[in-house]
Amino acid sequence: MHLANCLCDNYLKDSLATLIIENMHLHILPIMNPDGFALRWRGNANNIDLNRDFPDQFFPVNNDIDYRQPETRAIMNWVKQEHFTASASLHGGALVANYPWDGTRDTR
């Protein structure tokens, strides 16, 4: 939210903020799990950890999109519609770098 506020507050005042707003196709998703945020826990209203609800190359628990949570389906559909060239994810907890399909069969 700080980035969004900074860009909005500095548009036409700061050359970098103006450049970003006028020349980039920017999406900001403030939160993927509003239920969990409100309840201060990892799960959504169905007590499903949305971080574990996406496809996994080694653990195809629910490869059928119809059985995924609504939030997960919405994100998956959104990223299929857009042509992202870069992304960043800010996540509370430990410092982690994630890559597509970065899991391992032994989960380490």
**pTM, to two decimals:** 0.75
Structure tokens at 65: 């999109």
| Closest by Cα among 63, 68, 76, 62 to 44 | 68
Please count the residues of the chain. 108
3-state SS class at 43: strand
Q: Is residue 96 predicted with pLDDT exceeding 90? A: no
Between the two ends of the chain, the Cα-to-Cα distance in Å is 32
Sequence spans of domains, the chain: 1-30, 31-108
pLDDT higher for 96 or 2? 2
Structure tokens at 70: 């609504």
Structure tokens at 102: 């970065």
Q: Is residue 101 predicted with pLDDT exceeding 70? A: no
pLDDT digits (tens, 9 = 90+) for 29-75: 989 999 999 999 989 999 999 988 888 777 766 677 788 999 999 99
